């Protein structure tokens, strides 16, 4: 591919508190997002304030188990550096980071991108599966901030890449090793664990669960030659609040594995970076539940991080965009979700 001019790639992620003192304002930012609590602004502000105050002590205890802070920014910086190196042949490419709920957020990053003076901007969420609560929220905030400061460079956006070849290959490689490890204790069961969502979000046409299952199916197909009778299932973690959430829960599947007496391999397929929900929830909380429940072995698959295949897949998607794919598209270049998912950004005709 020839040089593409000056290109800014913006990686979007959730963000996480960088100190115990940052936990409460981080939680406020999270729950003050209309994509999370869809209520009028004054009501949402009050609820976010109350929820953050209530949840902050427990959240600080969680982060205390991994050094008092989230490692997400450091891990995202590693991914940004790897991706920038992978795209070096395109010309002058810089990869920026914009976090949704903690620094550096879109307000700061948009200014840095404008100062760089790009010819084109590629918005790339580090959420493989699209959801209105993650990707759509991050892109909407970015567009507001870019417009506010008068950035005029045309923007292309990747809405999702749930079955991207690089993503699938990277997962399959890591899971293959884990299955062999767990297999020493018997025939293992593979749990694809993803962050859950309230069912009412899905009822509005959010395609997240369909895309999670699409990811699991693609990884299962890649593993089939080596594990033709693999026992696998999708489950969901990180439930909070009183609403009814999509299931089955990861905790339920761990308990069932204990009753069945089978070893477990647990793969996070909606998280591409290590953070509290992998390092605490999967590694500590669920591991203890597995041991208590009689699971013969519990092997947690690492998040993809800056694995070569994953980064190469992201780079290939960016190249396709710059060659003339639609301004908002999946990694496949066209609409991926079946009809009926009305919140699919391509169904809505969302442009970057």
Q: What is the token pair recorded at 100?
A: 């949704």
Residues 70 and 184 in one domain: no
The answer to whether residue 228 sits within a structural domain is: yes
63 and 120 part of one domain: yes
| Residue 133: pLDDT over 50 | yes
Q: Are residues 18 and 131 in the same domain?
A: yes
Among 29-43, 222-236, 315-329, the minimum mean pLDDT is found in 315-329
Percent of the chain with pLDDT over 90: 87
| Mean of pLDDT over the chain | 94
The predicted model scores a pTM of 0.94
| Same-domain pairing of 43 and 99 | yes
Q: Same domain, yes or no, for 170 and 117?
A: no
- pLDDT tens string 80-116: 999 999 999 998 999 999 999 999 999 999 999 999 9
What's the average model confidence in pLDDT over 283-291? 98
Query: Do residue 272 and residue 232 come from a single domain?
Result: yes
Same domain, 131 and 171: no
The domain containing residue 261 runs over which residues? 165-300
**pLDDT for residue 327 is more than 90:** no
- Does residue 133 share a domain with residue 31? yes
pLDDT for 342 equals: 84
Examine the domain organization and report whether 34 and 86 are in the same domain: yes
| 84 and 38 in a common domain | yes
The answer on 181 and 112 residing in a single domain is no
Task: State residue 187's pLDDT score.
Answer: 96
pLDDT top residue among 310 and 340: 310
Same domain? 17 vs 156: yes
- The CATH number of the domain where 180 resides is what? 3.40.50.1400
Within a domain: 1:
no
The tally of domains found in the chain comes to: 2
Residue 12 has pLDDT above 70, yes or no: yes
């Amino acid at each position: 591919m020839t040089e593409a001019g000056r290109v800014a790639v913006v990686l979007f992620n959730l963000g996480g508190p960088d100190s115990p003192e940052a936990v409460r304002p981080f939680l406020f930012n999270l729950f003050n997002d209309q994509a999370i609590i869809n209520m009028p602004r004054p009501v949402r502000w009050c609820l976010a304030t109350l929820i953050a105050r209530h949840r902050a002590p427990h959240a600080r205890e969680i982060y205390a188990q991994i050094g008092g802070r989230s490692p997400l920014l450091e891990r995202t910086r590693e991914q940004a550096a790897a991706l920038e190196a992978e795209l070096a042949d395109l010309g002058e490419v810089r990869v920026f980071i914009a976090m949704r709920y903690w620094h550096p957020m879109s307000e700061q990053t948009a200014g840095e991108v404008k100062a760089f003076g790009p010819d084109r901007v590629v918005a790339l969420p580090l959420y493989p599966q699209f959801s209105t609560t993650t990707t759509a929220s991050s892109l909407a905030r970015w567009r507001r901030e870019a417009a506010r400061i008068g950035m005029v460079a045309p923007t292309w956006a990747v809405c999702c890449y749930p079955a991207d070849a690089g993503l699938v290959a990277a997962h399959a490689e890591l899971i293959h090793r884990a299955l062999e490890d767990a297999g020493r204790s018997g025939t293992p069961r593979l749990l694809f664990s993803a962050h859950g969502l309230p069912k009412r979000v899905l009822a509005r046409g959010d395609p997240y669960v369909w895309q999670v299952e699409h990811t699991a199916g693609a990884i299962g197909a890649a593993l089939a030659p080596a594990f033709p009778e693999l026992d696998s299932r999708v489950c969901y973690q990180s439930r909070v609040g009183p609403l009814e959430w999509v299931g089955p829960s990861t905790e339920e599947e761990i308990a069932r594995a204990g009753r069945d007496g089978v070893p477990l391999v647990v793969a996070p397929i909606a998280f591409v970076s290590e953070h509290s929900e992998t390092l605490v929830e999967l590694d500590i909380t669920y591991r203890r539940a597995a041991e208590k429940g009689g699971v013969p072995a519990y092997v947690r698959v690492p998040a993809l991080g800056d694995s070569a295949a994953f980064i190469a897949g992201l780079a290939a998607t960016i190249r396709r965009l710059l060659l003339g794919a639609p301004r908002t598209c999946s990694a496949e270049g066209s609409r991926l979700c079946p009809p009926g998912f009305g919140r699919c950004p391509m169904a809505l005709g969302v442009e970057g």
